[in-house]
Amino acid sequence: MPESLQEKCGVFGIYSNNANTDVTAMAYLSLFALQHRGQESCGIAVCNEGVMQYHTDIGLVPDVFSRETLEKLGKGNMAVGHVRYSTTGQKSRANAQPLVVMHIKGSMAIAHNGNITNAAELREKLELDGALFHSTNDTEIILHIITKKRIQSPSIETAIEQAMYEIQGAYSLVIMSPSKLIAVRDPSGFRPLSMGSLGGDIVFASESCAFDSIGAEFIRDIEPGEIVIADKDGPRSIKTHCGKPGGMCVFEFIYFARPDSIIEGASVHIARQRAGAFLALEHPVQADVVIGVPDSGLDAALGYSRQSGIPYGVGFIKNRYIGRTFIQPSQEERDRSVRIKLNTIEATIKGMRVVLIDDSIVRGTTMRRIVNLVRESGAKEVHLRISSPPFINPCYFGTDIDSRENLIACKMTIPEIRDYLGADSLGYLPVENVTKIAQNAKCNFCSGCFSGKYPVPEPLPFAKNKFEHKIGRVVN
């Protein structure tokens, strides 16, 4: 498990009836806007009159796609894009998405954000039926199941509808067939997925900020359990799986989403400010300045400052050219990497009683180094405030927390964590307030990693690399 929370994936799709729309360029620009959701790998698949071209690789969007690479993808009327952070399957070129398959009824490309909780069971069953796998991610399992249903079904949307009875867990999907673009959201709605319009074109994306990047207009969120089909006749929906109780991952508002996104009718930026305001009410302190850890701690720090009346200050400069997955093997190098990624502004901190705001504490090692940086810059006191409750349970639905073993809140009391981090005081957002931060959101929330109460039955534990090892039975 990483020292801090890691991103989920980001998906994008566009269907166009306009020959002048460059769907490849639209996908490329949108992936830039979604880059915060995954920096391990990325890819784009383009459909031109039923023929699919695609390119995927390890790396950031500008590193994977050159002008020449984009030109080779050619022009088409549909495109699907993906940025990846792995929650099942390790970082490798084989696990990059979209995944593309060809079968007797055509071809299909799929991009997935989420985590399938019955993936091991499904994969074993598929393997024993003769299925061959080229990757170790759970997206390929979805691909196999839909393809199997498609061969027996009159349409791709019918195949997807039937596949959803077998697939459990979190999934927001964008699927491209030779003639249709389809957006799918799991019945619990764990992951965000929305629909927009670009002229007469239909676009789908994990976050509304992707629409802003290409000048598209946000239309609405895809409903939990909904299948939306875009083709030459326009968009239409299948809602067989809608109406079930569920809940979006509340950490989309705390950390994962970009602050300029609107999710389920609520502003991420405002939600983080509200989290900071709740912190100020629950954990007041006498201090001189409030600073936030970039990026998701900044809005919460502003909210704390406004509620408490303590001045807000810029305490850190972040190196934008170091990825969030930048990790070095030795303790000394890890300490150095924090200094490369973050540098304090001494003029803001020196001689001050500082309220330091961040979004979460997972293992505690990174936060300990950040508190130490603030101390070294001359802070008289460091009062740490966290805009989420303590992590005390695994997440089975896409956040990279697969066990309680390395969670600091499972091993120490809050006073012990405070002392370990070197802070003068420590306050977390109360669990009863975490679902209140997204004011007027049109959804329920999953806060199981904080409360232990999940919107669906708790699945069996599994490891991120569960498909890196042999599974299933040996058949003679």
Contact between 209 and 246 (Cβ < 8 Å): no
Residues 289-293 have a mean pLDDT of 98
pTM to 2 decimal places: 0.90
When the pLDDT of each residue in the chain is averaged and rounded to a whole number, the result is: 90
For residue 323, pLDDT over 70 is answered with: no
Look up residue 298 and give its two tokens: 């900044």
Q: What is the C-alpha to C-alpha distance for residues 407 and 415, in angstroms, rounded to an integer?
A: 15
Residues 342-353 have a mean pLDDT of 96
For residue 353, pLDDT over 50 is answered with: yes
Contact between 30 and 130 (Cβ < 8 Å): no
Residues 383-401 have a mean pLDDT of 89
Identical fold between 10-246 and 262-451: no
Residue 154 contacts by C-beta under 8 Å, 6 or more apart in sequence? Answer: none
Compute how many other C-beta atoms are within 10 angstroms of the C-beta atom of residue 311. Answer: 12
Exposure of 313 in the CB half-sphere (CA atoms within 13 A): 20
* CATH code linked to domain 10-246: 3.60.20.10
Residues 142-150 have a mean pLDDT of 96
User: Is 408 in a helix, a strand, or coil?
Assistant: helix
Give residue-wise pLDDT tens across range 160-217.
999 999 999 999 999 999 999 999 999 999 999 999 999 999 999 999 999 999 999 9
Please, which pLDDT band fits residue 473 given cuts at 50, 70 and 90?
very low
Look up residue 91 and give its two tokens: 């970082």
Please, which pLDDT band fits residue 144 given cuts at 50, 70 and 90?
very high
Write the DSSP assignment of 169-220 as a string of letters.
Answer: EEEEEEEE-SS-EEEEE-TT--S--EEEEETTEEEEESSTHHHHHHTPEEEE
- List the catalytic residues: 9
Write the DSSP assignment of 307-333 as a string of letters.
Answer: HH-PPB---EEE-TTS-TT---SSHHH
Give residue-wise pLDDT tens across range 296-322.
899 999 999 999 999 999 999 988 776
What DSSP element (H or E) covers 383?
Answer: strand 381-386
Residues 114-133 have a mean pLDDT of 91
Residue 5 contacts by C-beta under 8 Å, 6 or more apart in sequence? Answer: 251, 255, 256, 359, 360, 362, 399, 400, 401
Contact between 48 and 74 (Cβ < 8 Å): yes
User: Is 3 in a helix, a strand, or coil?
Assistant: coil
CA distances from residue 138 to 134, 171, 183, 464 in whole angstroms, order as listed = 11, 10, 18, 10
Percent over 90 (pLDDT), the chain: 77
**What residue ranges do the domains of the chain occupy?**
10-246, 262-451
* CATH code linked to domain 262-451: 3.40.50.2020
What DSSP element (H or E) covers 248?
Answer: strand 248-249
Contact between 358 and 295 (Cβ < 8 Å): no
Contact between 231 and 181 (Cβ < 8 Å): yes
In whole angstroms, how large is the CA radius of gyration of the chain?
Answer: 22
Residue 234 contacts by C-beta under 8 Å, 6 or more apart in sequence? Answer: 202
What's at 196, amino acid-wise? G
Exposure of 257 in the CB half-sphere (CA atoms within 13 A): 30
Residue 30 contacts by C-beta under 8 Å, 6 or more apart in sequence? Answer: 12, 14, 81, 203, 205, 210, 211, 213, 214
Cis geometry, peptide bond prior to residue 295 (ω within 30 degrees of 0): yes
